[in-house]
């Protein structure tokens, strides 16, 4: 397998309105550490030559520097300020990316991403140009049209995760496009340039911490993973 430079853009520039917490969710406690610590740890552990671009609200730069002091060895990390939307935060991060790089874009609030999934995404991106992790839907779903509703075939849909991974040649030009509210992830942006994205199997445990219950689930999953109540790595 050929080797490429690897850059993980970890987007943590949001305010977490759905969490309804005074502290943005990426800085909330998960097993004794901020959520974001676990996410950075996952990428730093996945490849020794991983470079991390951390996109955070400017007001939290000092807090992040404190959090990074706990890392030994400290991975190569560049701090970048967040943007108005997730798209703008990713675009700010991409300004640090050079040519011939495999770029992982990952939510700072998905701290349970595994080394295996990061490796899968890297290898698939080298082969296909992109790698978008997906999992099956497990609930029945319905389409609402005005006052009406109808069951739809859930096998026709997938739930999308991160890290969404791309060769830099693919993702850099895509983010020159003007912002469109349909750009809820990187795959949608790349598709607007006419590319088809490659899907890879994601992981049930790779949850996005969005609401308070997600933090409880993440703590349980971490504890289960380490075999200890704290789950700290």
Ligand X SMILES: Nc1ccn([C@@H]2O[C@H](COP(=O)(O)OP(=O)(O)OP(=O)(O)O)[C@@H](O)[C@H]2O)c(=O)n1
Torsion over CA: 50, 42, 111, 192 (sign): positive
Asked if 195 is part of the footprint of ligand X (rule: CB under 6 A), the reply reads: no
Asked if 85 is part of the footprint of ligand X (rule: CB under 6 A), the reply reads: yes
Nearer to ligand LQXTBERG, 6 or 25 (CB): 25
Nearer to ligand LQXTBERG, 191 or 232 (CB): 191
Asked if 75 is part of the footprint of ligand X (rule: CB under 6 A), the reply reads: no
Question: Per-residue b/e over 178-213, b at no fewer than 16 CB within 10 Å?
Answer: eeeeebebbbbbbbeeebebbbbebbebbbbbeeee
Count of CB atoms within 10 A of residue 29's CB? 12
Length of the chain: 233
Confirm if 89 and 11 have CB atoms less than 8 A apart.
yes
Torsion over CA: 124, 197, 54, 80 (sign): positive
Nearer to ligand LQXTBERG, 51 or 185 (CB): 185
Asked if 16 is part of the footprint of ligand X (rule: CB under 6 A), the reply reads: yes
Asked if 86 is part of the footprint of ligand LQXTBERG (rule: CB under 6 A), the reply reads: yes
Nearer to ligand LQXTBERG, 5 or 88 (CB): 88
Binding footprint of ligand X on the chain (CB under 6 A):
11-18, 26, 55, 82-86, 89, 107-109, 208, 210
């Amino acid at each position: 397998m050929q080797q490429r430079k690897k850059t993980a853009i970890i987007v943590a520039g949001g305010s977490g309105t759905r969490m309804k917490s005074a502290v943005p969710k990426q800085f909330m406690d998960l097993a004794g550490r901020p959520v974001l610590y676990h996410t950075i740890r996952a990428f730093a552990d996945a490849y020794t030559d991983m470079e991390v671009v951390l996109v955070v609200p400017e007001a939290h730069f000092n807090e992040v520097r404190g959090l990074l002091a706990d890392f030994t060895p400290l991975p190569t990390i560049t701090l970048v300020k967040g943007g108005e939307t997730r798209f703008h935060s990713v675009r700010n991060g991409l300004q640090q990316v050079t040519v011939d790089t495999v770029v992982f874009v990952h939510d700072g609030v998905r701290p349970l991403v595994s080394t295996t999934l990061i490796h899968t995404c890297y290898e698939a991106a080298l082969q296909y140009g992109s790698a978008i992790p997906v999992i099956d839907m497990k609930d029945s779903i319905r389409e609402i049209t005005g006052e009406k509703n109808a069951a739809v075939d859930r096998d026709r849909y997938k739930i999308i995760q991160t890290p969404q991974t791309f060769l830099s040649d693919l993702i850099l030009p895509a983010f020159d496009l003007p912002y469109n509210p349909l750009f809820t992830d990187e795959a949608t942006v790349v598709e607007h340039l006419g590319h088809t994205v490659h899907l890879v199997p994601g992981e049930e445990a790779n949850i996005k911490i969005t609401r308070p219950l997600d933090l409880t689930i993440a703590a349980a999953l971490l504890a289960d993973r380490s075999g200890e109540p704290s789950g700290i790595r």
